[in-house]
Structure 1
Amino acid sequence: MDSERVASSQKEKISELLKEDGRSTIILIGDPGLWKTWLEREISKNKVIASSSCYTTLWINKAEKYSSNLLEEAISRQALCESPNIEEWEEQEEEEDEDGKKTEGEMATHQEENKEDKKNYHLVLDGEGINEMDENELVKEASSDFKNLLPSVQPDHLKIIMTRRTTKQSGKVIKFPSMSTEESLNLLKNEFSDHQVSGELFEFIAEKGRRSPAAITMIAKALKKVVQRDSRDLASAIGKAAYYEKPDRGVNELISCAYDMLPSDVLKNCFWHSIQFFRKYRSIHYNVLITHWIMEGYFEKDREVFELEKAYRKAHGALMDLIDRGILKAQDVNIVVMEGAALNMIDSRRKGCGGIDRLRLASVFEKDGGTVLGRVSPLDDMIRTVCSPKKLREVLTLLIDGSRPCEEDHSTFFNLMPKLQVLAIFKPTFKSLMSSSFERLTVLVLRNCDMLEDITGIKELKTLSVLEISGASSLKSNPDELFDGMAQLQSLNLSRCPMKSLPSLPKLTKLRFLILRQCSCLEYMPSLKELHELEIIDLSGATSLSSFQQLDFSSHTNLQMVDLSYTQIPWLPKFTDLKHLSRILLRGCRKLHILPSFQKLHSLKILDLSEVGFSNFTEIKLKDPSTQQLPFLPCSLSELYLRKCSALEHLPLTTALKNLELLDLSNTNLKKLPSELCNLRKLLLNNCLSLTKLPEMKGLEKLEELRLSGCINLTELPNLNDFPKLDLLDISNTGIREIPDEILELSRPKIIREVDEETNQAEDVNRGRGGMFMTAEIQAST
């Protein structure tokens, strides 16, 4: 039985069970990534249910353990998603005006009809934690909670659907077998129906996706996008998918490959934010997700005037692109979900979300999900809570261009919304902030506020969980006690503010994210030892910062990332046994000459020492002399950046770096390269002028990308037999003049030979002959 028939057959079985009268429980059995959740969603989408088409699906997913709170949150999210939009509110107002003309009897009948809940409810319990719970107890508890929360619903209008790996139950159980390679190939053909699907490479892809229909769907949609951009790149993209290998625990390789095919950093930012969000919450209204993206700053550019309406259009375009790729899915009309098979991916970008997001909303409000914003919708130059234009008192969330409040006194404008909880003003034009209008605020964002001079008014905002005041170039003072009353604050962003010292921070005991990017006047960092919850410390671009008061960060046990790039610090605080610290970024710290030991940082994945001014690692002094004889770097490291260490001639001991996947040695004077890095996937050697010939590198059998651009004294092509998995070879602006024809005819690797100086884009010499994947930028990943 092929995959299409399996899907159709199982859909029919579920449909018949849902049509049966009375309350019932349906159990879907199979491995993760098979058809279970997809089929239930298809049934919901197509309304294949009992005779009444009035139904609601409630999702509880990715939970460690079921609780009544989870069900209550699911009901709240669904209510938000089903609430009317702004245009519908206007229509309802007209109806209400008509209702005022009805007789009392007519009104009473109308109200009584509205009280009657005739919906059928599907409660979907889908998650690894839930999967371990006793089925009978789970059904009993969920049914009881449902009755308590929605007493107007008849018991026989509830169907419970569970997805599990195994069950001891009999009866209403539907099993989903794994696909064969042939069935997987048929699914690939169906998804990629406009193009011929045949040959060994497609069989490789089918085999990779045999246990995951979602992976097959996502890679097929990614290949379609390649064709839309330039059909000449299709052959190389197919080769990339067929040979793609990336260890990402619990994630099919094709899904990781589909992510790698995303064409822009903006889409990747939206992708990773969505993963953070949907790991906790199954579904949300698409406008809420878009609003999250806008507030995190994904659609802002440094030299571009920000317009909220324009940002919304870009964000909506990104949403549709991710839906087209099968990464996000439209569930009903306004609700989106994420493909569950992608949720276990690990963010391996150099900065990750912690170094890109402005607010970290998905983390701060992980217990409230999208409900913290409520139901929102764009209107003119605003995004705000959906409610009647005549009832602005009900507005909870407001994003607005700064020019708007200037039409009237801003305090008068905001006094119309006394329940306001989330406020973001982009490029505000007022000079001071009146706090009397914002007594209930939990989120306040004043972004690019170059006219703001006085912020003392925020002292009274005692309910804030998130605060951003960025780009306040005209700020005249920041009182030391400014934050003393903000005991609930979790995220603080003061980027690009002209302060030489920070206000007092010790009372911010719940602070998790401290973001002070490009604070170029900041000279001194006070002690943070009372801030035990800190996860992110981002001081990148604080170009005047030269010292820390705190000598030891070991008490910050939740710390995940420290970014001190382009500061003037000569030494780092001590790090010991920080189990969650995965990123230390020190790019451009030219005065750095003393480091703590990294040996006990067993979770450290990414270390960036680019542009640090030393010629040999022996010049770096270690604070703890007992570690001098140990390897300098921890074995957990997966990415090491040493680019533009122009005097660097020797690497530290690398034999322990068995997990290293990326090594950037661009713009160094290294003459000898490591060969023992057996898991290395990317080696960047751009502009290494001392390289005249590559040494033996037979140990790099997993190497996929080798960049040699600008190595002008390099005249010989490396032995490609040493790199059987090589996808991309960049030899632009080198001394290599001839490429053998037998190499040009190969489908792999893609060879970049020339660069357009005006566009800084590469030309593939083997393009059109199966050369590997898309036009690529020469700049190394940052």
Structure 2
Amino acid sequence: MDSLGPVVQIILFFWVPVSQQIGYLKHLNNNVETLKRETKELQDKRHQIQADVDDAISVGKTRVRLVENWLVDVTNIEAQVDSLRMEFEQPRTCLNGCCTNHFSRYKLGKRVVKKLKDVENLKAKGVFDKVAESPRRPRVLEMQTSLPRVQQSTAEETMEEIWQCLHDEENGIIGIYGMGGIGKTTLMKAINNKFIGTDHFNIVIWVTVSKDLNLGLIQEHIGKKLKIRFDDNEDMAEKRDKLFTQLKNVRYLLILDDLWEAFSLDQVGIPKPDKRNRCKITITTRFIRVCNEMDAHKQIRVRTLTPEEAWNLFCERCGDVVMSSEIRPVAEKVAEECSGLPLAIKTVGRAMHGKDKKEVWENALRALKGSSPEIPGMERQVFLPLKLSYDYLENEEIKSCFLYCTLFPEDYEIPIDELVRCWAVEEGFIENVNDLEEATNKGHDILERIKDACLLEKGSYGNKYVRMHDLLRDLAIWITSPSSSIEGSKFLVKAGEGLMQPPEEKMWRGVVRISLMHNKIKDLKITPDCPNLVSLFLNQSSGLVPVCSNFLRTIHSNFFELMPKLQILDLSRTGIESLPMSLLQLVNLRVLILSSCRDLVEVPPLGKLKELQILDLSKSGLKNFPQGIESLVKLKRLDISSTSFTAIPYTMIYGLPSLEEVSMMYLKEKVDGATFSEAVNMKRLRSLSISVSNLNGFIAHDMFHRWFSGLTSFHVEVKSAVFPPFSNKHISIGGCDKFPCGIEGLTKHAFSLYLYKSKGLTSLSKFQGDLKSLRHLLVSECSGVECIIDWREVGDDAFQCLQSLDLHRLLNLEKIFDGGAPPPLNTSLQNFRIIRVISCEKLRSLFSSSMVEQLHQLEVLHISDCSQMKEVIEGDELPHNSFPKLRILRLYGLPELESICSQRFMFISLEEIHVRSCPMLKKLPLFSSSIHEIKGEIEGEREWWERLEWEDEKARSLYTRIYKGP
């Protein structure tokens, strides 16, 4: 254009725009037709793409954002084209319709051209690689949870513990365990939802595993959450590699819900959580074993609801009907029968919702007490889910042992030894092992397996008892009831129901085990036909309740005639005076328990009971030793402790060939040591409990020491030294003015030793080298003792295993340790965990500062009633970090105590402190600055409290919380 002349350039400059403007008017009709055609093609494309989108949405996909915007734009432009078309079709005139309005047509033509370009552009953009895609899953998928507000206390306490574990560095794998229906899944769903809106994890993955472990499905669930596509022909190893590659770069929380079997994380492709990757895995399971096998760093048990929480939840499910003055007393008992198990509370609550008749509630209470699944939903929603744990027990032997626990009353603290002993005999453990000890060990192993499945729990009175949750007991009774359709042994269980009369004889037929323990049946004047009966429990209350006149006193002479298979008979703590001769027809009887039958004066000759393996006559009223015991060649355990036999045929007892356990404690006449020397001929004996009158004859026999060392448990009591044993190898020695030669052979095998009123004892140094295995030592009322250990007289490892030291009423004790500091290599104090010093009036201090360094394992220190004690630790220079593990400190009745130590130091692990009647104490101990609350009690006069010196205000504040005043 530069080659053209200036005039021509000017003409073209103005002509092109003018011609374009004229074209808007001249080509209007053609442009409108073109717009209609292009718009129609655009509409067709929109319909096709919309159909593709609809198909994708129908299979769960979502349309691509670009497609969504395009469809909106097409819809908008179609409306705009329609508007233009309508405007075109409407005539536009001027001068009252005399001529066409060309200016208006010109403007319309210009808009048509512009819209045509928009349609063409939009049509060109309507080409997509994909119109829809799988929805992007949220980082945390919200889960529906029914955690009721009334569970706040128990649930939130457990949730807070889990939450803290998920936020610390120490716990990579957290195991949440508890019985079925207790709310583990509900809690974890609530935990899952707490992570919504947080950035603690890149992704939270929930996998429900359930009973049948399928590692491939676990991989599929995790892969789906991570949007990993697995081909149908990929094997587990290939999937594993894909998962590991993606998960190793992600901070994940993996929740494995309802895990029944452990599996290898490596096999699935899950990187193990550690401090570096800061990932976490939580598992919910019914089995402690699974937590252990999955290497859980922290195990948290989900507990049942408190009575108040259970009642509130029950009310929430039942509605206002439970507030009725007529219904409420019965409703509270119904709620109690659910025993704090949320699953049962919800099920029963739903079934009773709106029920306003007292009779209906009383019927429900009867059904629950009788372990009957009459209440709607009880069998399907409670018993069957709980039964899964029972079904998953490894074999019929373990299942049978679990069912055995139903024979004890509801809420009963079951003695483990008693339980295991019956299992060992009735379940035939003895036939499959070498001796009673191995059978007992097998019983304890089975007990742990049942506890592992949360079907039994630790008793309230410590490790020697177990308890069965009421709902699990109901489940077991349901399984074993004669009316149940489930195959297996049938039981008749009426334990602790207050029966005055025995069940009707027809109820006895066909059952294998019967428990009538803890009732008020005075007389058994029946002859029940029990061809299959194996176990019969007629015993009364535990040892905490004295035998009374309401207990069983009379058994009919023919009572045992029709029980040919009976193996276990327990009549302990009854008021029976004699046993009928029909007892001798129990030719298969293996266990006969007559313990604490104080009124029992005679029993028939027992020689015909050839299968008898356990005979317990302890604390019975028998005066004469039963005849025929010499014929019991299979007898493995004999207990005659605390009896008043006028004469005991020791030689006959020692001659029983199968005897493995003998208990002859606290007899009216102590066993003479010389008489007992023949016991070395008892080759199978493994457990011995015996009271002897003196030690001389007891240890004089040449073979004694070798025989004694072969015992796996013993309790030897010399003279009057009655004290419960601390261990399974315990010796109590009382009233010995002089210890005989050979005592070392007795004490060197002991784990615990009790020395009582032994005037000849001046220190424990005389036992040096013979107490290396000792773990527990109690010295009481030994007036000659001036020190316990003299470092100058003992070896470096004299008390190397000692864990607890108890010193009671040692009136002349001046020092626990004498002879200066322990030698540098001495290990005597390094395992001390508990020290208790009571009523040692001459003690002015407990330790020297040089000894503190070796007490680095000490956890409990108790000092009371030591009237002259000035300070606990003597000396000025304490080692750094003294008492690093001391958790509990008790100071009682120390009127002269001025300080713990003259040098101030901090107890870094102190959790609990008790101070009472220490009026001269100037300062309370320092503790770690990380402690926010300390347990215990501080008692003293207000004047003393106000005089106390404080290190800082925080210490004063924490101690103020536990100060009780005078």
Which structure has more relative contact order (CA 8 Å, sep 6+)? It is 1
- The structure with more radius of gyration: 2
Query: Could you say which structure has the higher helix fraction?
Result: 2
TM-score normalised by the chain length of structure 1: 0.49
